[in-house]
Amino acid sequence: MLGEVRGQRILDYGCGSGNLGIYLALQGAQVSGFDLSPEGIKIAQRGAEQYGLNAKFEVMDAESLSYPDQSFDLVAGFGVLHHVIKYPGAGAQLFRVMRPGARALFHETLWDNPVINLARRFTMTDQDAGDAHLTASSLRDFARGFSTVKLHRRHLLYMLKRTVKIGSHHITHPVKPRRFWRAVKSVDSILVGSGLSRWCGEVIVELIR
């Protein structure tokens, strides 16, 4: 869904130790990344320097991004929205740093489905730091002002991939799942398309400014 990234200005949103941003920079993107963790940023910046990449990682808060207005063509993040969605200024800051027509893509696990919601009742409390419950309504509230908000629900049976090692990879190449898991993913696509999307375990949130 990211498409061709070469030459694009990309924000690795909540970058952690920078694996995504470094991979995108290796594909020719001009990458900036931020995270609240100083240790994560230290690792990310060290990796960028080691590979000689056009990437810069900084400690920053999602509610007070220091990037200039309309800085980015694309924003990408993994497992970060459920940490920032409850902070009122985060959505507006994201909107501000994206150029008109730019896209943001966020992959989120533990999506809003009946099974996961039942588990939450026993494993989470309202005081759990950063673990906000993602719903279609809360995401649209976060993305107020964006021209388009799309929720691409993914993975029913394929959620079981998290219990096994599905393949080996290097920083320059994406993971290549085994043949069995490719087949499971194909079946998943059929099931999701047949009306079972509310039971999906993951979602890709696509925002267009």
CB environment 94-118: b (16+ within 10 A), e (fewer): bbbbbeeebbbbbbbbbbbbeebee
Contacts of 88 (CB under 8 A, 6+ apart): 63
- Quote the pTM value: 0.79
What is the rounded CA–CA span in Å between residue 84 and residue 61? Answer: 9
**Which fold, 9-157+201-208?**
Rossmann fold (3.40.50)
**Residue 188: per-residue pLDDT:** 74
The residue-averaged pLDDT of 11-23 equals 96
- Contact between 186 and 37 under an 8 Å Cβ cutoff? The reply is no
**Residue 155: per-residue pLDDT:** 73
The residue-averaged pLDDT of 146-163 equals 78
Q: 41: number of CA atoms within 13 Å, CB side?
A: 15
**Residue 60: per-residue pLDDT:** 97
**Residue 169: per-residue pLDDT:** 54
Q: Kindly report the average pLDDT of the chain as a whole number.
A: 84
Report whether pLDDT(161) > 70: no
Locate the domains of the chain by residue range: 9-157+201-208
Q: Mean pLDDT lowest for which of 40-44, 92-96, 190-194?
A: 190-194
Tens digit of each residue's pLDDT (9 = 90 or more) over 70-129: 999 999 999 899 899 989 899 999 999 999 999 999 998 876 666 666 665 666 555 444
